Amino acid sequence: MNWTEVDAESSILWIQSKLASVGGSNDTDWLGNRLNCCLPAGYEVYIKVFHEVLEDLTVQDRNVTWDEAEESSSISDDALASIISNTTLERSSPEDGFPSRRVRWAELAARYGLKFHPEINVRSFSRKFPRGSWPRYLVGPTEGSLSPEEFRRLLTVLQDHASADEVFMYWDLPMEVQGKDSYCIAGELDSPLEMAWPPGVDSTPSYVWPASRTWIVHTNYDLSFTLVATNASSAYDLLSDDSLETIKIPYSARIDRFSDTVNG
């Protein structure tokens, strides 16, 4: 079965109707973005899947920050634009295929004297670095998207618990693409994933779920982790999978950049 476009508004309604409100519209009554604003209640386990961080093995000096490297760089403006294009607080390397090693968030937290816990985020690390600039040797996690390998692995693990189900993928598009601000397709995961993406979009879907609704995957365009709601058996498999970095997260947890109150 190939991927078929379906009505986005009606397909996502069952999720949107069960989400908590983000809260007030000003700083005095805003309580932050929380997990219950993104995923429905009623699932046995909620999991945070951290987007990968890489060490750029071509960088020898681990004390040089991205800001310092940029200030002293003779790279063209176009190259600098490509460095910054897919990240916000952290920078990605200017070329694909650079020699790298994946470093887990837990390992990085230990390296910089931080406690690894469910509400840790990129700002937890930025506050440890000079002027908030990450070391140049670190290629920070991409906001709003898992890597293709992580996305495939995540769906493979989850689909083992809903193998016969049709799967829905929904994008809440940050800007209109071909006149649309949302897009949804349905199909089976044995269909090529490359055929699922809407034209001009390369980010992970905002929501993925099977027809049985036994699990939901949510990737937010400004978060450097993905959230999963699921049952105990698939949660065990996800938390045990070495190719993904995961941690259980309370349903009441805050998930915005101010979520980490443990690391100051």
DSSP state of 129: S
Residue 85: helix, strand or coil by DSSP? coil
The set of residues, in sequence order, having a beta carbon less than 8 Å from that of 16 and lying 6+ positions away, is none
**What b/e sequence results for 67-82 when a residue is b if at least 16 CB atoms lie within 10 Å of its CB, and e otherwise?**
bbbeeeeeeeeeeeeb
Hey, how many other C-beta atoms are within 10 angstroms of the C-beta on 156? 13
Q: According to the model, what pLDDT value does residue 2 have?
A: 82
What is the number of other CB atoms lying within 10 angstroms of the CB of residue 214?
17
Report the chain's terminal Cα–Cα distance, integer Å.
Answer: 50
Q: So where are the chain's domains?
A: 4-20+35-50+144-248, 53-139
pLDDT in tens, the chain (264 residues): 688 999 999 999 999 999 998 765 455 456 689 999 999 999 999 999 999 999 999 998 998 998 888 777 654 455 445 444 444 445 554 556 789 999 999 999 999 999 999 999 999 999 998 888 999 999 999 999 999 999 999 999 999 887 678 999 999 976 666 678 899 999 988 777 777 787 778 889 999 999 999 999 999 988 999 999 999 999 999 999 999 999 999 999 999 999 999 997
Q: How many CB atoms lie within 10 A of CB 192?
A: 10
Q: What is the pTM of this model?
A: 0.88
Question: How far, in Å, are 49, 50, 149, 171 from residue 144 at the CA level?
Answer: 12, 11, 15, 11
Q: What are phi and psi of 163, to 5 degrees?
A: -65, -25
Q: Which of 1, 9, 2 is nearest to 183 (CA)?
A: 9
Which one, of 137, 148, 140, 121, lies nearest residue 258 by Cα? 121
Task: Report how far residue 214's alpha carbon sits from residue 253's, in angstroms, rounded to the nearest whole number.
Answer: 21
CA–CA dist 93, 232 (Å, integer)? 38
Q: Which of 51, 49, 47, 91 is nearest to 73 (CA)?
A: 91
